[in-house]
Amino acid sequence: MITEEKKEVIKATIPVLEAHGTEITSTFYQNMFKAHPELLNIFNQTNQTVGDQPKALAMTVLAAAKHIDNLDAIVPHVVGIAHKHRALEIKPEHYPIVGKYLLEGIQEVLGDQATPEIIDAWCEYYNQIAQVFIDVEQDMYQAAAWDGFKPFIVRKKEVMTPEIVRFTVGSDNVDKAFTAGQYITVKVKPADYPYEALRHYSICSNDAEDGITFAVKREGLDDKKGVVSNYLHSGIEEGDALFLSAPAGDFKVEAEHDRLLFIAGGVGATPVMAMAEEAISKGKDVKFVYSAINEQYLPFKDQFEKLEADGADISVKYSDTDGYLNREDFTGSEDREIYICGSMPFMNTMIAELNAMGIDDSRIHFEPFGPKMSLQKV
Ligand code: HEM
């Protein structure tokens, strides 16, 4: 266990980390990829480009420093991150590599301010945090529905909207191996891309009769963004194989919540659609408010219709004609437990609207399609 003296050193570095956190982690990534280019097969280069991943790691390190006297406070965050790590096949041997380049990043950015005493305290603390992740992830590897990346055959490829395609993939000897709200991780190697690329996609239906169903939104092809979604849209057809790691993620409806409000925008419907289906099948009271650009961009019409027929209260708002979702769309739902999914700006706006209605953060559960810690209040 880290000494009280070293804890004080860590605490004293919080303001410096707050000032330089993103810079340190950006430097760390650059140096690490230079020395270990093989890691470019694991890390999402789009997140690197747009800065979410450096920010996510910085926020986690900061959270860990702020809660050094009570590390239990960060455990819920560790679990969410560990799910992603397990889905990406991050192993214990990767941790010393990250530790080495993270500490070198601190040294490089802070220069003389990073005294040997500071580096020594952080080295020990990093190892302690890394061990927490390694232990949590070890349990997850043991509990996973299958090991590593396993081939699945694309049984159905359905065009939902001009942007969204729904895939149903199957494999012999895999039963329903997920809980509603979880995601699978796809590993692909597009021909014109130098690395393997991994992406998480939420499972979009609780119904697993034909296999696992997930939906992919085609991103623009500017820079590296969209390399995987375009490959899946244009390069993968029914009958092709796709490699998937086992379902992961801790976004789910808590058993004790009976009156629910689901809020989603665009492809963010995916996890909450599965969760709403599961909730309805368990007899819960479900309201689902969805934002789409217009009717042409409304995906999952078959699933929405089935949900409605099964008793869910569904409302769809088209931003082209009716504007964006706001607090007025949630009137009467003040007592419901709320689950949201959508883009980062969508999530931020929805949370602000709900907070303005007096709804506490503890009742708002969300799943952004991107690093969660870059959105987290710590
Ligand atoms: C994702 C923190 C170690 C590889 C993340 C995220 C955080 C994080 C906050 C974002 C999770 C989200 O999407 O919500 C940490 C911390 C670590 C650590 C605090 C050390 C204590 C590692 C190691 C590796 C690794 C050792 C492998 C070399 C990744 C990858 C992602 C990720 C590939 C997915 C994001 C992307 O591809 O851009 N980590 N991590 N992490 N981490 Fe770690």
* Residue of 29, 95, 201, 339 marked active site: 95
Q: Which of 14-18, 34-38, 43-47, 223-227 has the highest mean predicted lDDT (pLDDT)?
A: 34-38
Q: What are the beta bridge partners of residue 153?
A: 170, 241
For position 109, what pLDDT does the model report? 86
Predicted confidence (pLDDT) at residue 285 exceeds the cutoff of 50: yes
For position 169, what pLDDT does the model report? 97
Query: CB neighbours of 121 closer than 8 A, spacing ≥ 6?
Result: 2, 6, 7, 9, 10
Candidates 53, 61, 135, 224: which one to mutate for ligand 1, based on the most atoms within 8 Å of Cβ? Answer: 53
Task: Identify the residue whose C-alpha is closest to ligand 1 atom 20.
Answer: 130
In the chain, what are the domain boundaries? 4-143, 150-248, 259-375
Judge contact between 205 and 270, C-beta under 8 A. Answer: no
Query: CB neighbours of 365 closer than 8 A, spacing ≥ 6?
Result: 251, 337, 338, 339, 340
Can you tell me the mean pLDDT for 284-288? Answer: 98
Residue spans of beta strands (DSSP E) within the chain: 150-159, 164-170, 183-188, 197-202, 212-217, 241-248, 259-265, 285-292, 313-318, 337-342, 364-368
What is the SS3 assignment for 156?
strand
Query: CB neighbours of 71 closer than 8 A, spacing ≥ 6?
Result: 64, 132
Residue 196 CA to residue 40 CA, distance in Å, equals 8
Statement: 150-248 belongs to CATH 2.40.30.10: yes
Question: What is the arrangement of strands in the sheet containing 197-202, beginning at the earlier edge strand?
Answer: 197-202, 183-188, 241-248, 150-159, 164-170, 212-217
Q: How confident is the model at residue 228 (pLDDT cuts 50, 70, 90)?
A: very high
Predicted confidence (pLDDT) at residue 375 exceeds the cutoff of 60: no
Per-residue tokens: 122:
């952080």
**Is the model's pTM score more than 0.90?**
yes
Predicted confidence (pLDDT) at residue 271 exceeds the cutoff of 50: yes
95 belongs to the catalytic site: yes
Residue 374 CA to residue 83 CA, distance in Å, equals 16
Residue 20 CA to residue 81 CA, distance in Å, equals 22
User: Which of 72-81, 129-138, 165-174 comes out lowest in average pLDDT?
Assistant: 72-81
Q: Which numbered atom of ligand 1 lies nearest the CA of 52?
A: 38
Class of the CATH-defined domain 4-143: mainly alpha
**Please, what is the average pLDDT of the chain?**
90
Q: Evaluate: CB of 98 within 6 angstroms of ligand 1.
A: yes
CATH architecture of the region 259-375: 3-Layer(aba) Sandwich (3.40)
